[in-house]
Amino acid sequence: MTDATSFPSMRTLNPSEHSPQDNYKLLVGAVVPRPIAFVSTVDAKGVRNLAPFSFFTVASANPPVVCFCPMVRPSGARNLPPTKDTLRNIIDTREFVLNIVSEEFGDKMNATSADLPPDVDEFEVSGLTPVPSELITPPRVGESAVQMECRLEQVVHVSTEPLGGSLVLGQVLRFHIRESILNNFRIDPDQLHAIGRMAGATYCRTRERFEMERPK
């Protein structure tokens, strides 16, 4: 057994002794790479919204449920409300589309991450194509190779403080997957070209991969 003293020295940090901004830096630097939930919604008046979220994963396969976490804006961020438009729209309408981001339109995805007023349509800002959904009102992103129409299951408000967050769980009602990347329910990563989020302005590609068989 390896002796603990043979490992590199560690620095121990108590989150309560540091600012939320510094804790955020630690989290987004350590939890990498993170997939990107590109979420399209509409508000009660029908205004479309499109925004990326990198606190995102799968919660269940039976039924299929995805989850992502909109964060509370920092205090006084461009005089915008603390709750992001996406979260407010989902609570009001109980619907959203989760679109997977590929390299080919990463720059347009990034354009939607700006803090814009609620009456601004990010589809128009980014130049991305809204495509009608089958069962819900929010449109899908035509450029995305994988789109999921979702109905809200529940929202767990973890913290309402600046840089706090809410866990949004949505059941997938429809998968829309580009036929060229799908084979017997397997999605070809070499054609999906998904990108992931690192810390700060850094992203990563998913082209380099390796395999490890699970022990039996």
pLDDT tens digit at each of 216 positions of the chain: 677 778 899 999 999 999 999 999 999 999 999 999 999 999 999 999 999 999 999 999 999 999 999 999 886 666 678 889 999 999 999 999 999 999 999 999 999 999 899 999 999 999 999 999 999 999 999 999 999 999 999 999 999 999 999 999 999 999 999 999 999 999 999 999 999 999 999 999 999 999 999 999
Residue 24 phi, psi (nearest 5): -60, -45
* Tokens at 123, concatenated: 């589809």
Helices (H), the chain: 20-30, 85-93, 106-111, 122-126, 189-192
Q: Coil, helix or strand for 7?
A: coil
* Tokens at 202, concatenated: 């850094």
pTM, full prediction:
0.94
C-alpha span between 113 and 192 (Å, rounded): 22
C-alpha span between 202 and 192 (Å, rounded): 20
| Ordered structural domains, the chain, with CATH | 20-198 (2.30.110.10)
DSSP string, 26-82: HHHHHS-SEE-EEEEEE-TT--EEEEEESSEEEEEETTEEEEE-PBPPPTTGGG--S
C-alpha span between 43 and 122 (Å, rounded): 13
* Tokens at 129, concatenated: 């194509």
C-alpha pair distances (Å), 194 with each of 27, 30, 100 = 22, 20, 7
